[in-house]
């Protein structure tokens, strides 16, 4: 810890980050959440989320509001070719 920052773990992704909320100068202070998203996050998570997760959730919320798909469809991994029996074994 340094300068009043608290070592934290994001409850969404499990990643570590330094939170400065208690010190009065956290990077998340520049993040703007809609009231609906703020309530949803408070109901779902305990504690602070890391900036990458906050940004991803804000983006997903904006897409949801705009009626866009939430994520690109995942491509299915290519099927593995069938294995052939060893003719010598």
DSSP state of 9: E
C-alpha closest to that of 10 among 54, 45, 49, 39 = 49
User: pTM of the predicted model, to two decimals?
Assistant: 0.65
Residue of 58, 47, 39, 37 lying closest to 9 (CA atoms): 47
- Residue 53: inside a domain, yes or no? yes
74 found inside a domain:
no
Q: Is residue 27 part of a domain?
A: yes
Residue 51, domain member (yes or no): yes
Number of structural domains found in the chain: 1
Q: Is residue 24 part of a domain?
A: yes
Q: Is 81 within a domain? A: no
Give the structural domain span for 15.
Answer: 6-66
In percent, how much of the chain has pLDDT > 90? 35
Confirm whether 48 is domain-assigned: yes
pLDDT tens-place string over residues 31-50:
888 999 999 999 999 988 99
Rounded to an integer, what distance in angstroms lies between the CA atom of residue 31 and that of residue 23?
Answer: 17
């Amino acid at each position: 810890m340094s300068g009043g920052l608290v070592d934290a773990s994001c409850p969404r992704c499990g990643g570590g980050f330094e939170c400065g909320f208690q010190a009065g100068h956290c990077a998340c202070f520049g993040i703007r959440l809609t009231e609906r998203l703020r309530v949803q996050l408070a109901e779902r998570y305990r504690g602070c989320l890391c900036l990458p997760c906050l940004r991803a959730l804000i983006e997903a919320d904006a897409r949801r509001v705009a009626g866009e798909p939430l994520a690109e469809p995942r491509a299915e991994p290519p099927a593995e070719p069938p294995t052939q029996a060893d003719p010598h074994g």
